[in-house]
Chain A
Amino acid sequence: MTAGRKQTQAPMEATVDEQPPVAEPSARRRARRDLVRALLRSKTFMVGCAILLWWVLDSVAWSLFVPTDPQALDPTNALAAPSAQHWLGTDNLGRDVLSRVLAGATTVLGIAPAATLLALLLGTTIGLAAGYYRGWFDELITRLLDAFLAFPPIVVAVLALAVVGASNVAVILVTGLLFVPNVARTVRSVVLQERSRDYIAAARLRGERGPYIMVAEILPNVGGPLMVEATVRFGYAVFTVATLSFLGLGLQQPSPDWGLAISLGRSYLQVAPWVVLAPALALATLVVSINLVVDGLRQVIEE
């Protein structure tokens, strides 16, 4: 222990010190590296990540992967079964299903993250304020959130979209707002725990103001649970966005969006099941991959 020897040279007072296993700044880096390593070791996380990354890549660069133009019509070859030419067959207008599935990731992976972000921003703000100020403000907010959560989410979304009209922006707003209560409740519960710790009392004694304490002191300590919550909400957002377009409240023809494709292919389910199955499976893999990532994260964070 070099530290121990160094001390004997110091003056009397400094010797009188319990010597730390002093971690150099690298300790932080090491902790982070350990976390990353644990994630890399987690099969759940890695498999989820691989699938998710594939879809993200595909949503950006689908044009490189598609065998044919997803919008190219070929009415003479409508509802053709999978073949060497069309690996996943064609739909009722003779468009290549594989190309449309690959192209369809863009819409859901654009809208769902945007909606999640909106939910996180608003939800975190509300949760922080409610958890920190408590009292009547908290009481009011939590009651409102509870009331909001009591409505079936899809019904609320359908109603809202029926009023404002379907558009990408509308779907983002509605889906985002729909998840605000969930995020807010999670954040609030973590804030309540953190708030009771003495570093908050110490900050108040220094004369810190509420907003500073919330944003600079508490928020960084809410990070872990917030990350898990974000991923969970993202999974739900993917699902909700797809459901809305299935119900015809999101994107309209000729978008290759998966929800829309499932909805349109429904009528041909008996003669050409591939029209529905392909986008449905794509959607399923995306949602499952997100759930795998959540599970992996949770395990590692909790360890």
Chain B
Amino acid sequence: MSAEPTSVITGDANEAPPAVEIRDLVVSYRRRRRNLQVLRGVSLAIQPGEAYGLVGESGCGKTTVAMTLMRYLPPNAVIDDGSVSLEGEDMLGMSPAQLRELRGNRLAMVYQETASSLNPTLRIGEQIAEVYRYHRAMGRAEAADAAREMLTRVQLADPGRVARRYPHEMSGGQKQRVVIAMALATNPHVLVLDEPTTGLDTTVEAEVLELVAGLRSDYGTSVLFISHNLGIVAQMCERVGVLYAGRLVEEGAAQHVLTEPKHPYTLALLRCVPRMGMHKDTMRLDPIPGSLPALGTDVPACVFADRCSITEDRCHTQAPPLVPVASGHTSRCHFVDAVSKIPPRAFPSPADKSDDASEPLLLVEDARKTYSAPGQHVEAVAGVSLEVHRGEILGVVGESGSGKSTLARCVVGLDNSSAGTLSFGGISISPAARRRRHALRRAVQMVFQDPDTSLNPRRSVRRLLLRSVRLLRGERGRTADLRVRQLLADVRLEPRHLEVKPAALSGGLKQRVAIASAFAGEPELVVCDEPVSSLDVSVQAAILNLLSDLHVDRQLSYILISHDLGVVRYLSDRIAVMYLGEIVEVGSAEEMFKPGHHPYTEALVSAIPSLNPTEPGRGRIRLTGTIPSPANPPSGCRFHTRCPRAIGDLCRTEKPPWQHDGDGHTYRCHIPPTELRALQTHDDPPMTS
């Protein structure tokens, strides 16, 4: 992206002081009269104008670094050691008044949760104007003008109207722009972004990131960018630091660190995400074994030793030094040279035995689901027809609001579809779960997004699973007990997990329990609604492998719903793309990512952040605006309001036909396949407004 040459890293003392310099920072949280160390001596420096990415699993201390820099640590946090300076000035010794001055003018932060960083009772314009009035001592009118100008700079259409809105009247992406506008209002020298796009759709995420990159190059702001997504960091940052258990294990230029990692942890992080072109049939994912040491436990001399694949005795007794591996690239490992030789543990998948038996297991015909509120009808699913074959994994993708979750709930019978028919194994079935026969209930199950809410917090794992076994299989007593143990083994949990309640398990383990529970009755179709989106990347891989194994072992079918195209591509045989309650494209997983796809799919694909930003054909098209309200869908082609390839009136007035492109690949567009393919392989990006 905007890789500016302003950030040449030299050790010369006559240069300006670094924008941010953190040295040997040790921070701990006091809890129940114990000090739990979170940061174990972190040192990093951000040069003026540089974007520095901080990556690592959740719980590594990324946010603590940001909060220490802002001096916004919670009251129970203690800075035990180290120094933090901003442009050469020591920040730890500053008075609250000095800090307030600093925060508004030279230092600003965009927090993780946009929704809660805006005051719901103030209009957008007033919130931004407040910054000017407080820090720039502007009058009301002047501040309001400045606020409107800032809204223009973050490319919000019609700033005058936006300024008069309340936060709840805006979409997630718009709110994020406002928050960025507030942070940049005083033109700070250093901007801290803590997971600024988590929770946003990929398409919106791409837009927000582009905005940040653009603003950064305009203002020359230094950025501390915190993210768990390596692709985003690769795209946004010049330098990157990898944090593990409160220690910086590797640091260097983003291209080097993310393409030739010299620390086993960085390598493992990179390997556990499904890469483009990986598919479950050919390659298994490579999760990181073990988990982050719990807060307050002792860590070995090398913090990563317990999970490392090249660990030796030395790692447990002797702290590895910071080894320079290239100019400006350092790694904290005893065996930096061995890292590149670590064989991928990802091994080929066991051959998928399912042959293309074309017997459809589930047939959905013209399903509709309308929610009625006084004065409006919202058609969340607007006539969807699809089929899932026996042994097949059908991926369903789309932005939030596209109706994919509603579709899932209609299939399993949690929501009654308002119209259309469902049939399973050739027999028509009732739309309501409670009216379905027992055998059918057993055959169609669901894995939910967030295991925190899908497992009753008051029940032990044993009770949870016993109940499923009893209801779905009718087993009791010893048989049931054995079955529960078997299920537990199937999802790679151990008997010691039986008596534990969900709160005592980590996210990934919880999701395994939820999967075991859905699999208790040997289902034939499992609907997985965002099964890994609430999990950390290192855990995601393990769950995806598990789902893939269970699929191979049991020859069942999945409907896999996800907003993460990488996940869907890795696991699915076929993919359906939904937009505003309609399916716009269906095809094999491979074809969906090649030119000749629906313009909406094209936009989704080009919004995926890649580890290699220079890859050709990336970021070709961007969607503008947000998904229209399903209460009032656009006429003609529902996508025409945002379509970068719209061809005029035809799209506005007439519903597009299904275009067939051989091999079951079909999409809904006025542009025929050959023409579309030509358009999409052509290197000239179409202009989007």
Q: Do A and B bind each other?
A: yes
Residues of A within 8 A of B (CB): 1, 3-5, 7, 13-25, 27-28, 34, 197-199, 201-208, 217, 220-221
| Chain B 538-573: CB-based contact to A (< 8 A → 1; otherwise 0) | 110010010001000000000000000000000000
Is A201 within 8 A of B446, CB to CB?
yes
With an 8 Å Cβ cutoff, the count of chain B residues facing the other chain is 55
Q: A13-B492, A14-B492, A221-B456 are in contact. Are A4 and B306 (CB under 8 A)?
A: yes
Minimum CB distance partner of B543 in chain A: A18
Contacts of A21 in B (CB 8 A): 291, 294, 506
Interfacial residues of chain B within 426-446, with CB under 8 A of chain A in the complex: 433-434, 438, 441, 445-446
Minimum CB distance partner of A208 in chain B: B471
A199 to B450, CA, bound (A): 10
| Chain B 429-473: CB-based contact to A (< 8 A → 1; otherwise 0) | 000011000100100011011100111111000000001100110
| Interface flag for B395 (CB, 8 Å) | no
Q: A4-B307, A205-B446, A208-B471 are in contact. Are A23 and B441 (CB under 8 A)?
A: no
Contacts of A28 in B (CB 8 A): 501, 504
A217 to B457, CA, bound (A): 9
Is A20 within 8 A of B291, CB to CB?
yes
A7 to B308, CA, bound (A): 12
A105 to B338, CA, bound (A): 79
Is A18 within 8 A of B545, CB to CB?
no
Q: A25-B499, A202-B517 are in contact. Are A16 and B289 (CB under 8 A)?
A: yes
Contacts of B409 in A (CB 8 A): 201
Closest beta carbon of chain A to B463's beta carbon, Å: 10
Contacts of B450 in A (CB 8 A): 198
Q: Which single member of A7, A20, A34, A199 contacts B456 (CB below 8 Å)? A: A199
Minimum CB distance partner of A206 in chain B: B471
Minimum CB distance partner of B446 in chain A: A205
Q: A28-B501, A201-B446, A220-B458 are in contact. Are A22 and B496 (CB under 8 A)?
A: yes
Interface hub of B450, B456, B457 (most chain A Cβ within 10 A): B456
A4 to B290, CA, bound (A): 6
A17 to B509, CA, bound (A): 9
Q: Which single member of B449, B504, B538 contacts A23 (CB below 8 Å)? A: B504
With contacts A21-B506, A202-B518, A207-B433 known, what are 12 further pairs, Cβ within 8 A? Answer: A1-B290, A4-B307, A5-B306, A16-B289, A18-B288, A18-B290, A18-B509, A22-B497, A34-B32, A199-B457, A202-B454, A205-B413
Q: A17-B542, A198-B454 are in contact. Are A1 and B288 (CB under 8 A)?
A: no
Closest 8 CB pairs of A and B: A23-B504, A198-B454, A4-B306, A21-B294, A197-B453, A198-B448, A220-B458, A18-B508
Contacts of A208 in B (CB 8 A): 471
Interface hub of A7, A16, A197 (most chain B Cβ within 10 A): A16
| Interface flag for B505 (CB, 8 Å) | yes
Contacts of A17 in B (CB 8 A): 287, 289-290, 492, 508, 542
Is B471 within 8 A of A199, CB to CB?
no
A82 to B304, CA, bound (A): 77
Is A207 within 8 A of B441, CB to CB?
yes
Interface hub of A15, A19, A28, A217 (most chain B Cβ within 10 A): A19
Q: A4-B306, A199-B453 are in contact. Are A22 and B505 (CB under 8 A)?
A: yes
A20 to B614, CA, bound (A): 38
Closest beta carbon of chain B to A200's beta carbon, Å: 9
Is A27 within 8 A of B500, CB to CB?
yes
Closest beta carbon of chain B to A129's beta carbon, Å: 17
Is A18 within 8 A of B291, CB to CB?
yes
A41 to B545, CA, bound (A): 47
Residues of B within 8 A of A (CB): 32, 287-291, 293-294, 297, 306-307, 409, 412-414, 433-434, 438, 441, 445-446, 448-450, 453-458, 467-468, 471-472, 492, 496-497, 499-501, 503-506, 508-509, 514, 517-518, 536, 538-539, 542, 545, 549
Closest beta carbon of chain A to B403's beta carbon, Å: 17
A204 to B444, CA, bound (A): 12
Is B291 within 8 A of A19, CB to CB?
yes
Q: A25-B500, A198-B450, A201-B448 are in contact. Are A206 and B467 (CB under 8 A)?
A: yes
Is B297 within 8 A of A1, CB to CB?
yes
A181 to B508, CA, bound (A): 42
Minimum CB distance partner of B493 in chain A: A17
Contacts of B501 in A (CB 8 A): 27-28
A61 to B607, CA, bound (A): 76
Is B289 within 8 A of A19, CB to CB?
yes
Interface hub of A18, A24, A220 (most chain B Cβ within 10 A): A18
Contacts of A16 in B (CB 8 A): 287, 289, 492, 542, 545
Is B433 within 8 A of A204, CB to CB?
yes
Closest beta carbon of chain B to A195's beta carbon, Å: 11
A24 to B505, CA, bound (A): 10
Q: A202-B454, A205-B412 are in contact. Are A20 and B506 (CB under 8 A)?
A: yes
A208 to B503, CA, bound (A): 23
Contacts of A217 in B (CB 8 A): 456
Q: Which single member of B288, B468, B505 contacts A206 (CB below 8 Å)? A: B468
Contacts of A24 in B (CB 8 A): 496, 500
Contacts of B287 in A (CB 8 A): 16-18
Is A221 within 8 A of B457, CB to CB?
yes
Minimum CB distance partner of A210 in chain B: B434
A4 to B245, CA, bound (A): 15
Minimum CB distance partner of A25 in chain B: B499
Closest beta carbon of chain A to B245's beta carbon, Å: 11
Minimum CB distance partner of A28 in chain B: B501
Contacts of B453 in A (CB 8 A): 197-199
Minimum CB distance partner of A201 in chain B: B414
Is A22 within 8 A of B500, CB to CB?
yes
Closest beta carbon of chain B to A107's beta carbon, Å: 37
Contacts of B545 in A (CB 8 A): 16
Contact sample, A vs B, 19 pairs, CB 8 Å cutoff: A4-B307, A17-B542, A18-B538, A20-B497, A20-B508, A21-B294, A24-B496, A25-B499, A25-B500, A28-B501, A198-B448, A198-B454, A202-B454, A202-B514, A202-B517, A205-B441, A205-B445, A220-B458, A221-B458
Is A1 within 8 A of B293, CB to CB?
yes
Closest beta carbon of chain B to A68's beta carbon, Å: 51
Closest beta carbon of chain B to A35's beta carbon, Å: 13
A21 to B472, CA, bound (A): 31
Q: A20-B509, A201-B414 are in contact. Are A207 and B434 (CB under 8 A)?
A: yes
Contacts of B496 in A (CB 8 A): 22, 24
A218 to B445, CA, bound (A): 21
Contacts of B446 in A (CB 8 A): 201-202, 205
Closest beta carbon of chain A to B290's beta carbon, Å: 4
Contacts of A199 in B (CB 8 A): 453-457
A13 to B552, CA, bound (A): 15
Minimum CB distance partner of B549 in chain A: A13
Q: Which single member of B289, B438, B504 contacts A22 (CB below 8 Å)? A: B504
Contacts of A1 in B (CB 8 A): 290, 293, 297, 306
Closest beta carbon of chain A to B242's beta carbon, Å: 18
A107 to B403, CA, bound (A): 61
Closest beta carbon of chain A to B423's beta carbon, Å: 19
A250 to B386, CA, bound (A): 70
Closest beta carbon of chain B to A32's beta carbon, Å: 12
Contacts of A19 in B (CB 8 A): 289-291, 506
Closest beta carbon of chain B to A153's beta carbon, Å: 34
Interface hub of A7, A13, A197 (most chain B Cβ within 10 A): A197
Minimum CB distance partner of B295 in chain A: A21
Is B504 within 8 A of A201, CB to CB?
no
Contacts of B457 in A (CB 8 A): 199, 221
Q: A1-B293, A4-B307, A198-B453 are in contact. Are A18 and B471 (CB under 8 A)?
A: no
